[in-house]
Amino acid sequence: MAQGMTTQSITVVGAGLAGCEAAWAIAGAGIPVTLVEMKPRKYTPAHHEAGFAELVCSNSLKARRLDSAAGLLKEEMAWLGSVCVAAARRCAVPAGGALAVDRDQFSLLVTEAIRTHPLITVECREVTEIPEKGITVIATGPLTADTLAARIAERWGGGLSFYDAAAPIVTLESVDMDRAFRASRYDREESGEGDYINCPLNKEEYEAFHEALVSADTALLHDFDKPPVYEGCMPIEVLAKRGMDSIRFGPMKPVGLRDPRTGHRPWAVLQLRRENAEGSLLNLVGFQTNLKFPEQKRVFGMIPALRNAEFVRYGVMHRNTFLDSPRLLNAGYQVREEPRLFFAGQMTGVEGYMESAGSGMLAGINAVRALRGQAPLILPRETMLGALAGYISDETVMNFQPMGANFGILPPLPEPIRDKRLRYGALADRALAALKQVMKAQGFSGPQERSNQE
């Protein structure tokens, strides 16, 4: 045991995806863990449910395919025993090539797994100070409560901020199906009945909608300066202001779809994706927004299929804060200057649900290694988990911004492959081979059977 690290338990602060994965990894290694969560006593502006691992924006965990960056990330996590990937696969809803979940069921499954684990103790309280003793994983998310956020800023010189946004949700029964059709792009679907509901617009309808969107009133953002908007969650009205065709080539692209009523590709399309297992609630895909609530009903109601739509949740926008991780953390999510402390989740600068969860898994693994006096486990950069950890800890990165899983952060193949899908497949094969080698060397149990290939 390393000097000064005599405690036989580990604390995890925050029960979002990252905190749950950290606690699960620690307990899985046979180490008692205390998971501290302030809900339901206190909520952030974006959280509303008491359960753990609450999904606050989209209910999509992105692509399933192994030859996609998101699919590879989830497969690596599944091999390492992810509680979130296992839960997601159990409560998946049809979404074409994506792994989308019933968000309430997802939270319920993760919460149940955490609360019933014999080595995990859950404490409901707000943490307002950085723990001064013991190995601790801080996974309080991009909306860390003000007091703790201030303490983190005091110790490490402050953080960086950007705005994140969520899309509205409508009821299925309120969608005019005479003006919509079911289909997935390029006929990629699971259910056989069309995993997405497509709301088409002709050229005239689209141009009127675009004009209303760019001139609509947005909600005011109070109490802080306006930091950048993360590109991956760009509000639809901000994107629309980049040009008449910006959203028609973005969230409303009609590529891969054909309207059965006309036999032709629409001019533009809004896709609706299942929000729950029953399919009674639908998410407006790519329609993150900061419009005022009455404006959302007015403007989005200009889409023919949504003229009488019932909104059960309007889109919202909130501030996310992340650390200057390249100056603070190593690739084990460990604080360089204080190795008993770890950070995990979106506050480290990984962007996305599974990216956040993956960072929590590695932070948990490395918290156990710190307890045992071992050096942190640094995964190869050829793996997606390792590449993300390498990105957030790269001291040469100057204008640090959040990063999601993508093949661009992996080292290139020795021999170039022109075909993109073949190249991505080769990168995925290389990643899993590298991870398998590490797992064998470290004594991890063998990788699970692949269950997400198409």
Q: Are 123 and 34 a contacting pair, CB within 8 Å?
A: yes
pLDDT by 10s per residue, the chain, length 454: 333 444 489 999 999 999 999 999 999 999 999 999 998 877 666 566 779 999 987 889 999 999 999 999 999 999 999 999 999 999 999 888 899 999 999 999 999 999 999 999 999 999 999 999 999 999 998 778 889 988 988 888 656 666 677 889 899 989 999 999 999 887 665 555 568 999 999 999 999 999 999 999 987 654 433 545 556 678 999 999 999 999 999 999 999 999 999 999 999 999 999 887 778 889 999 999 989 999 999 999 999 999 999 897 888 786 777 898 999 999 999 999 999 999 999 999 898 999 999 999 999 999 999 999 999 999 999 999 999 999 999 988 766 878 889 988 898 899 989 898 999 999 999 999 999 999 999 988 766 544 433 3
SS3 at position 201 = strand
CA angle, 268 then 274 then 279, to 5°: 125
Question: What span, in angstroms and rounded, lies between the C-alpha atoms of 355 and 378?
Answer: 16
Q: What domains appear along the chain, each with residue ranges and CATH number?
A: 10-156+323-442 (3.50.50.60), 169-319 (2.40.30)
Which residue reads 């309430």 in tokens?
104
Helix/strand/coil percentages in the chain, nearest 5: 35, 15, 50
Q: Are 335 and 343 a contacting pair, CB within 8 Å?
A: yes
Backbone dihedral region of 199: left (phi > 0), alpha (psi from -120 to 50 degrees) or beta? beta
First to last CA, the chain: 46
Whole-model pTM: value is 0.77
Q: For the stretch 225-259, what's the b/e string if a residue is b when 16 or more beta carbons lie within 10 angstroms of its beta carbon? A: eeeebbeebbbbbbbbeeeeebbbeebbbbeebbb
